[in-house]
Chains A and B, each alone.
Chain A
Amino acid sequence: MVRQIRLEVFKLVRRGRSYLGFGALLLISGLAVVALLFGPHMIETSMSQGFITAGSYLNGGFVAWMMLNAPPTALFLPLFACVVTGDMVSGETADGTLRTVLSRPVGRGSLFAAKFAVSVIYVVALTLFLGIAAYGIGTIFLGRGVLVTFQEGSMLGAQGIYVYDAREGLTRLAAAYAFVSVGVLSVATIALFLSTIVANSLGAIGGAMLTLIVFGILAMFDFFKPIHPFLFTTHLDRWRDFFTTPIPWGEIRTSLAVLFAYIVVFLLAGLTVFTRKDVIS
């Protein structure tokens, strides 16, 4: 099993598309820092009327928090994860290498488990990379300091502003990124499952992203409110709760349970399809 995981990691490292997400997230982090350095930042106006603010809240911690909050990241992070996990089986099917691999005495179950393990490693690495890159670039150009976050609104007008000292801010950021990696893994597992069905990785990536978008749209309408708690998209945003006081652990546990349920269901579904799959090409 460990050997199979090593082999899957080797294949992952050799593929150019594995680095696409890291490169793009590094670029996005850099652009965010440039925007913060030179763009308007007026969150001070929201610091409740009647406060004098001194210094700057713009720092590495804020950039790392902002990257989670930025809508493009909410889309790109799952996309880059799916680009890799959606290719895990379908890519090899299309290349014809899966047939060669399966012609050797290797258990399909353990092979799929190895692919899932590598998916987990990749998703966690990608998510943490975003946090480290954003925090690192932000710290280099903006420095360190207290972490200022807000629950609602935008930088131009914010509500529910929470300020934490640098150390506590970093701990909360680490927890939030860990949570986000679970959320991204739920989408990535859907892509892995779809890659066992389709022969083209684009179909798996597109299918997973379409699920994300459709669930996101369903969450926008009150008509579908009864099913909202069961949509994984409802729980992807729960990382925000790590930046409130007190932290609503009960709700976080519920969201983690839903996300893990998606992971387990699609993992088992993928395993079932993969073990019964007729690999003929």
Chain B
Amino acid sequence: MRKLLLAAAVVGALALAAAARPKPAPADVIGLLERNYASIHDYSADIEVSVDSPQLHMPRSAATLYFKRPDRMKIVPKEGFAVLPKDVFPGDPVRSIKQNFRLERLDSAKVGNEPVYVLSLVPKTTDVRGAMKLFVEKRRGIIIGTDADVGGAKFKSRWTYARVEGKYWLPSEIRIEMSGAMSTPVFDPREVKIKPPKSGKGTTLVRFSDYKINRGIPDSVFAEGKQTSR
């Protein structure tokens, strides 16, 4: 009987200790993400983007992505023109998130069997689609997905990673599923009519390969050319 009481007391104490442990704040999760990118000063990667949606159909677009701290980023298309969805947070995702979003709330959940943090982000600039949920894997401290619901359109991204140079977890593939309204109404001069937004379902697939990390990208790479971000 005494042993049973002792065991109950130990279990109770452990439960109390667990409950008393401070819950991580949203900023702690950002810190967790930062750790993965902290030792990356610059990188380049080949990217391949394919988009199939009612608004944009692009079978394949290839480019090279260059990034250098603190915030220099350049996409050099291989055939004169390329697009890249903002959902992939090219460059330094943490910096991009901190720059464009306010961290509102943190929850815990599971994606498959993997425990994740669910970070609710509220936009503070007009440079992003809108509010979104960011799924951060607890084990590796990496983004594994996003969910956004913006004005009648839904965007869901899922990230797959590769271990690069034996040290860094970096995205190898990002798949974005889209549904709902995908454009704004436009005036069609041929038919003299305002066309309603294109809507439906779509998929964007971004593949990253040939990462080169901390090789010292010269500043001249970021100097020329036009890049539009909307």
Mark A residues whose CB is within 8 Å of B: 44-57, 59, 71, 143-146, 148, 152-154, 157-166, 168, 220, 237, 244-245
Question: For residue B184, which residue of chain A has the nearest CB?
Answer: A157
Most buried by B among A46, A152, A163, A166: A163
Q: Cβ of B198 < 8 Å from any Cβ of A?
A: yes
Could you say which of B51, B63, B192, B195 contacts A54, with CB atoms under 8 Å apart?
B63
Bound form: Cα–Cα A153–B90 in Å:
30
Stretch of B23-31, B81-89, B108-116 lying at the A interface: B81-89
B90:A54 contact, CB within 8 angstroms:
no
Report the minimal beta-carbon distance from A177 to chain B, rounded to whole angstroms.
19
Known: A52-B75, A54-B74. 14 other contacts (CB 8 A): A49-B184, A50-B129, A52-B90, A53-B81, A54-B84, A55-B82, A55-B226, A71-B189, A145-B77, A146-B77, A146-B80, A160-B55, A162-B58, A163-B57
Can you list the 9 inter-chain pairs with the closest CB atoms, starting with the nearest? A145-B80, A153-B186, A54-B75, A163-B58, A157-B186, A55-B77, A55-B81, A51-B83, A57-B81
Could you say which of B54, B86, B198, B226 contacts A51, with CB atoms under 8 Å apart?
B86
Question: For residue A51, which residue of chain B has the nearest CB?
Answer: B83
Q: Cβ of B225 < 8 Å from any Cβ of A?
A: yes
- Given the complex, which residues of B lie within 8 Å of A245, measured CB to CB? 57, 59
Bound form: Cα–Cα A48–B83 in Å:
10
Report the minimal beta-carbon distance from A43 to chain B, rounded to whole angstroms.
10
Q: Cβ of B227 < 8 Å from any Cβ of A?
A: yes
- Given the complex, which residues of B lie within 8 Å of A46, measured CB to CB? 55, 183-184, 186
Question: For residue B229, which residue of chain A has the nearest CB?
Answer: A52
Contact with A along B60-73 (1 / 0, CB 8 A): 11010000000000
Could you say which of A55, A148, A160, A164 contacts B198, with CB atoms under 8 Å apart?
A160
Interface size on B, as a range, is: 35 or more
A55:B225 contact, CB within 8 angstroms:
yes
Most buried by B among A53, A154, A162, A166: A53
Q: Cβ of B228 < 8 Å from any Cβ of A?
A: yes
A158:B230 contact, CB within 8 angstroms:
no
Bound form: Cα–Cα A48–B129 in Å:
10
Bound form: Cα–Cα A48–B176 in Å:
14
B186:A52 contact, CB within 8 angstroms:
no
A146:B81 contact, CB within 8 angstroms:
yes
A71:B79 contact, CB within 8 angstroms:
no
Bound form: Cα–Cα A201–B102 in Å:
72
Report the minimal beta-carbon distance from A37 to chain B, rounded to whole angstroms.
13
A163:B56 contact, CB within 8 angstroms:
yes
- Given the complex, which residues of B lie within 8 Å of A53, measured CB to CB? 81-83, 227-230
Could you say which of B55, B63, B191, B225 contacts A48, with CB atoms under 8 Å apart?
B55
Could you say which of A49, A146, A153 contacts B79, with CB atoms under 8 Å apart?
A146
B227:A54 contact, CB within 8 angstroms:
yes
- Given the complex, which residues of B lie within 8 Å of A168, measured CB to CB? 59
Could you say which of B54, B198, B228 contacts A44, with CB atoms under 8 Å apart?
B228
- Given the complex, which residues of B lie within 8 Å of A159, measured CB to CB? 55, 183, 186, 195, 197-198
Q: Cβ of B168 < 8 Å from any Cβ of A?
A: no
Bound form: Cα–Cα A51–B80 in Å:
16
Bound form: Cα–Cα A162–B129 in Å:
22
Interface residues of B in 170-226 (CB under 8 A from A): 182-184, 186-192, 195, 197-198, 225-226
Q: Cβ of B53 < 8 Å from any Cβ of A?
A: yes
A144:B80 contact, CB within 8 angstroms:
yes
- Given the complex, which residues of B lie within 8 Å of A51, measured CB to CB? 56, 83-86, 230
Report the minimal beta-carbon distance from A97 to chain B, rounded to whole angstroms.
42
Asked if A162 meets B80 with Cβ closer than 8 Å, knowing A53-B227, A153-B188, the reply is no
- Given the complex, which residues of B lie within 8 Å of A52, measured CB to CB? 75, 83-86, 90, 227-230
Bound form: Cα–Cα A49–B84 in Å:
11
Bound form: Cα–Cα A152–B229 in Å:
23
Q: Cβ of B143 < 8 Å from any Cβ of A?
A: no
Bound form: Cα–Cα A46–B83 in Å:
12
Contact with A along B147-187 (1 / 0, CB 8 A): 00000000100000000000000000000000000111011
Question: For residue B60, which residue of chain A has the nearest CB?
Answer: A165
Bound form: Cα–Cα A163–B62 in Å:
12
Most buried by B among A49, A59, A153, A160: A49
B188:A50 contact, CB within 8 angstroms:
no
